[in-house]
């Protein structure tokens, strides 16, 4: 009998409107984080959020609309090349290194959220929460009339000149913010500011700024009228990060030299004359090259091109990280020993969801190498991915099931409607009408909603980025809003000799060796092999050595303060499902139910969070927050 193992469980409820700063997750871990309720099965508590939070923790209405993100390379915070930070202690590594800029439509304003690679600290105790950065946003409006002033000279102190004339500039510091037109007669290398028209300021409320040290972001919100109104995606832009110097009129550090000093920027081999003062600029891939855009000589200043915002936006719905190194199922699973099963090949690091007009793309990061050892057409070999979708808007006529696809060994607490099955040579979307169960060998006869052959689904892989991606027709997954659906993502070990895991058209290949299941009886074992559980505190837990006679899919943390399996550090008093009960004050009982693994409940004696918690039950972020707040008041 063939034994299929190695699943990477990645379960969450997608109601994407909140961020995870309350869980202490860093911005570098979540670029566009979805709210998460992770359980072993799609849950009964959907809890649609009515508010969302930006990374500074400010509550916002769900009317706020995310337009997209413009990514920026990390590690390019050296101007045209060779620039050095001042050496004083506040200028920490990465504080001028942009990672991305995300744009939100707030109704009558736009918010620009700038990710910073280094720490965002309020060294000088400014009200806005950040200290050493100056951000300037230049906007060119193609719909602006001839009466709107335009200039190719950057704001004084910037050292920037532009290939196309701009119309509006937003100047953002921790002490104040202003939007100006281009009517100033002062140039980019002048000391004084000139006399431009002020279109908005922090004093009149037309522009404001905030920062999040946890999210490592600086955000500023600008009245649409101040930037000419219309559609921000149709405008051209340039975004720059400078070093703050409160002793210059421009607030930009213009003190430069060959070598950096306490409060002097080092230019290296670059000349001081005509030097642009920006450490980093937003340079969308394939549109703008920073090293070329900021390149200059002693005789010629840099000429910076602007980019069209809409052409550079990455419209990802969100990204969820997963802990690295937890690719051992419920605990104790081991990779097959053949050489193709390299370390980390089944270890999910994150999943990013992208939306286009009629498709969704799921990009799955893998900790280990993504290799195509069997030379499959779609660029990856040893992984099989399955995505289960519960659609709350589906009608009664849409088939549902709590049984996973045959071979998966998965059963669910809440019925799913659609299944995406992905291998390196075949992909299919099925409904839940099959009469075959999760432990059956044959596939049954579900309705095929989309297939690789018909073009409704496709897959690809990147060895360089260590990702596997699949793109699915929205229609095949019920259409509507992906953010309102509940989904579960799993990674299995691909075995082309078994119909259930291989796909619809098995491809012959040499058989790998049988996996070692440890002390787990294979008859009842579920096939998932990583569970996105919170990491237990090193001071409070140890790994249980009790033989596992009844392993199960992952389940929610026993702590009622959260249900997010993605959280890196558990809340005070929380314990890992793998913790030793005698050391944590928690107990767990498990019983076998037929051929299926089943956990009955967790209880904890930790003060303030004592509850009995039936698995496999999920909760949304909003539900988790209510429980945490209730717990803190009792």
Taking the C-alpha atoms of residue 326 and residue 331, their distance in angstroms, rounded to an integer, is 8
SS3 537: coil
The correct answer on CATH 1.20.5.510 for the domain covering 8-49+315-502 is: no
In this structure, are residues 12 and 487 in contact, taking their beta carbons and an 8 Å threshold?
yes
Cα dist from 592 to 402, 521, 552, 596, whole Å: 18, 12, 10, 7
Please, what's the b/e burial string for 155-194 (b: 16 or more CB within 10 A of its CB; e: otherwise)? bbbbbbbbeebbbbbbbbbbbbbbbbbbebebbbbbeebe
Q: Which residues contact 371 (CB under 8 A, 6 or more apart)?
A: 340, 342, 345, 380, 381, 382, 463
What's the token pair of residue 303? Answer: 């000429």
- Residue 315's pLDDT is 75
Taking the C-alpha atoms of residue 387 and residue 210, their distance in angstroms, rounded to an integer, is 38
SS3 100: strand
What are the start and end residues of each CATH 2.60.40.1190 domain in the chain?
A: 8-49+315-502, 73-282
- Residue 355's pLDDT is 83
* Mean pLDDT confidence for 462-483: 93
Taking the C-alpha atoms of residue 298 and residue 159, their distance in angstroms, rounded to an integer, is 12
Taking the C-alpha atoms of residue 478 and residue 470, their distance in angstroms, rounded to an integer, is 17
pLDDT digits (tens, 9 = 90+) for 327-365: 888 888 999 999 999 999 999 988 889 887 789 999 999
Find the length of the chain: 634
- Residue 358's pLDDT is 87
* Mean pLDDT confidence for 472-487: 92
Q: Could you tell me the pLDDT band of residue 631, with boundaries at 50, 70 and 90? A: very low
Q: Could you tell me the pLDDT band of residue 496, with boundaries at 50, 70 and 90? A: confident
Whether residue 551 is predicted with pLDDT greater than 80 in this model: the reply is no
Q: Which residues contact 204 (CB under 8 A, 6 or more apart)?
A: none
Which strands form 596-604's sheet, in the order they lie side by side?
Answer: 586-593, 596-604, 612-614
Sheet strands (E) in 196-334:
198-201, 207-212, 217-223, 236-243, 256-257, 265-266, 280-281, 303-304, 307-308, 316-321
In this structure, are residues 493 and 6 in contact, taking their beta carbons and an 8 Å threshold?
yes
In this structure, are residues 160 and 169 in contact, taking their beta carbons and an 8 Å threshold?
no
- The more confidently predicted of residues 52 and 435 is 435
- Residue 554's pLDDT is 28
Q: DSSP for 154-212, please give it.
A: PPTTS--EEEEEE-EEEEE-SS-EEEEES-----TT-SS---PPEEEETTTTSEEEEEE
Angle, CA 562 vertex, CA 559 and CA 565 arms, to 5°: 95
Whether residue 298 is predicted with pLDDT greater than 60 in this model: the reply is yes
In this structure, are residues 424 and 378 in contact, taking their beta carbons and an 8 Å threshold?
yes
**What's 629's DSSP letter?**
H
- Residue 63's pLDDT is 64
Q: Could you tell me the pLDDT band of residue 500, with boundaries at 50, 70 and 90? A: low
Q: Using alpha carbons, select from 565, 609, 9, 591 the residue that is nearest to residue 601.
A: 591
In this structure, are residues 160 and 166 in contact, taking their beta carbons and an 8 Å threshold?
no
User: Between β-strands 265-266 and 256-257, what pairing exists: parallel, antiparallel or unpaired?
Assistant: parallel
Q: Could you tell me the pLDDT band of residue 319, with boundaries at 50, 70 and 90? A: confident
What's the token pair of residue 85? Answer: 């930070």
Please, what's the b/e burial string for 297-315 (b: 16 or more CB within 10 A of its CB; e: otherwise)? eeeebbbbebbbbbebbbe
Instruction: Name residue, tokens 């790994």.
Output: 543
- Average pLDDT for the chain: 74
Taking the C-alpha atoms of residue 75 and residue 250, their distance in angstroms, rounded to an integer, is 26
- Residue 85's pLDDT is 98
C-alpha neighbours within 13 Å on the C-beta side of residue 631: 20
What's the token pair of residue 454? Answer: 């018909």
Residue 575: CB atoms within 10 A of its CB come to: 25
Whether residue 442 is predicted with pLDDT greater than 80 in this model: the reply is yes
In this structure, are residues 557 and 563 in contact, taking their beta carbons and an 8 Å threshold?
yes
* Mean pLDDT confidence for 24-30: 26
**What's 611's DSSP letter?**
-
Type and span of the H or E element at 12: strand 8-13
- Residue 469's pLDDT is 96
C-alpha neighbours within 13 Å on the C-beta side of residue 230: 15
In this structure, are residues 348 and 322 in contact, taking their beta carbons and an 8 Å threshold?
yes
In this structure, are residues 425 and 494 in contact, taking their beta carbons and an 8 Å threshold?
no
In this structure, are residues 33 and 102 in contact, taking their beta carbons and an 8 Å threshold?
no
CATH of 73-282, one of 1.10.1060.10, 3.30.70.60, 3.30.565.10, 2.60.40.1190: 2.60.40.1190
Instruction: Name residue, tokens 């569970």.
Output: 531
Instruction: Name residue, tokens 């089944």.
Output: 346
- Residue 167's pLDDT is 98
Q: pTM value?
A: 0.56
Type and span of the H or E element at 293: helix 290-293
Residue 340: CB atoms within 10 A of its CB come to: 17
pLDDT digits (tens, 9 = 90+) for 576-627: 332 333 333 333 232 333 333 322 222 222 222 222 222 223 333 233 333 3
* Mean pLDDT confidence for 194-209: 96
Q: Could you tell me the pLDDT band of residue 56, with boundaries at 50, 70 and 90? A: very low
* Mean pLDDT confidence for 451-462: 94
Taking the C-alpha atoms of residue 257 and residue 270, their distance in angstroms, rounded to an integer, is 9
The share of the chain scoring above pLDDT 70, in percent, equals: 69
């Amino acid at each position: 009998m063939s034994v299929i193992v190695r699943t990477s469980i990645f379960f969450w409820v997608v109601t994407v409107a909140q961020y995870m700063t309350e869980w202490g997750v860093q911005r570098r871990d979540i670029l566009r984080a979805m709210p998460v309720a992770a359980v072993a099965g799609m849950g009964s508590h959907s809890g649609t959020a009515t508010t969302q939070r930006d990374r500074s923790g400010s509550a916002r209405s769900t009317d706020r609309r995310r337009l997209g993100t413009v990514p920026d390379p990390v590690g390019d915070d050296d101007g045209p090349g060779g620039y050095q930070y001042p050496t004083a202690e506040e200028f920490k590594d990465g504080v001028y290194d942009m990672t991305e800029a995300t744009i939100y439509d707030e109704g009558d304003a736009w918010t620009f959220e700038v990710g910073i690679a280094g720490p965002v600290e309020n060294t000088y105790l400014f009200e806005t929460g950040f200290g050493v950065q100056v951000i300037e946003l230049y906007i060119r409006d193609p719909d602006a009339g001839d009466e709107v002033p335009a200039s190719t000279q950057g704001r004084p102190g910037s050292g920037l000149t532009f290939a196309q004339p701009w119309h509006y500039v937003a100047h953002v510091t921790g002490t104040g913010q202003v939007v100006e037109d281009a009517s100033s007669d002062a140039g980019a290398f002048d000391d004084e500011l000139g006399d431009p028209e002020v279109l908005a300021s922090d004093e009149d409320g037309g522009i404001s700024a905030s920062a999040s040290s946890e999210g490592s972001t600086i955000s500023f919100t600008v009245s649409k009228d101040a930037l000419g109104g219309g559609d921000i995606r149709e405008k051209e832009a340039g975004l720059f990060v400078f070093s703050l110097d409160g002793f210059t009129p421009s607030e930009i550090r213009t003190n430069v030299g060959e070598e950096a000093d306490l409060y002097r920027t080092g230019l290296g081999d670059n000349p001081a004359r005509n030097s642009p003062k920006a450490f980093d600029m937003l340079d969308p891939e394939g549109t703008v090259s920073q090293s070329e855009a900021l390149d200059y000589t002693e005789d010629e200043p840099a000429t910076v091109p602007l980019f069209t915002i809409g052409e550079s936006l990455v419209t990802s719905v969100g990204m969820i990280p997963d802990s690295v190194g937890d690719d051992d199922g419920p605990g104790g699973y081991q990779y097959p020993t053949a050489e193709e099963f390299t370390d980390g090949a089944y270890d999910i690091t994150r999943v990013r969801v992208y939306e286009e007009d009629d498709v969704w793309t799921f990009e799955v990061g893998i900790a280990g190498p993504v290799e195509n050892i069997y030379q499959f057409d779609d660029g990856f070999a040893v992984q099989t991915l399955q995505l289960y979708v519960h659609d709350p808007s589906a009608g009664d006529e849409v088939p549902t099931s709590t049984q996973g696809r045959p071979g998966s060994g998965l059963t669910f607490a809440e019925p799913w409607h659609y299944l995406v099955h992905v291998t390196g040579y075949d992909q299919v979307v099925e409904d839940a009408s099959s009469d075959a169960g999760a432990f059956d060998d044959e596939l049954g006869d579900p309705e095929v909603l989309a297939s690789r052959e018909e073009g409704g689904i496709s897959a690809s892989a990147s060895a360089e980025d260590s990702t596997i991606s699949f793109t699915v027709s929205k229609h095949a997954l019920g259409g509507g809003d992906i953010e309102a659906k509940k989904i579960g993502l799993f990674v299995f070990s691909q075995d082309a000799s078994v119909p259930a895991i291989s796909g619809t058209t098995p491809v012959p290949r040499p058989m790998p060796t049988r996996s070692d299941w440890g002390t787990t009886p294979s008859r009842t074992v579920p096939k998932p092999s990583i569970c996105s559980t919170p990491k237990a505190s090193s001071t409070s837990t140890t790994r249980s050595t009790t033989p596992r006679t009844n392993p199960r899919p992952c389940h929610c943390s026993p702590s009622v303060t959260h249900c997010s399996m993605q959280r890196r550090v558990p809340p005070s008093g929380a314990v890992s499902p793998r913790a030793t009960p005698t050391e944590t004050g928690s107990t767990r009982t498990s019983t076998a139910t037929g051929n299926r693994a089943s956990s009955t409940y967790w209880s904890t004696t930790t003060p303030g969070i004592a509850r009995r918690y039936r698995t496999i039950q999920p909760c949304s972020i909003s539900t988790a927050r209510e429980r945490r707040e209730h717990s803190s008041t009792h």
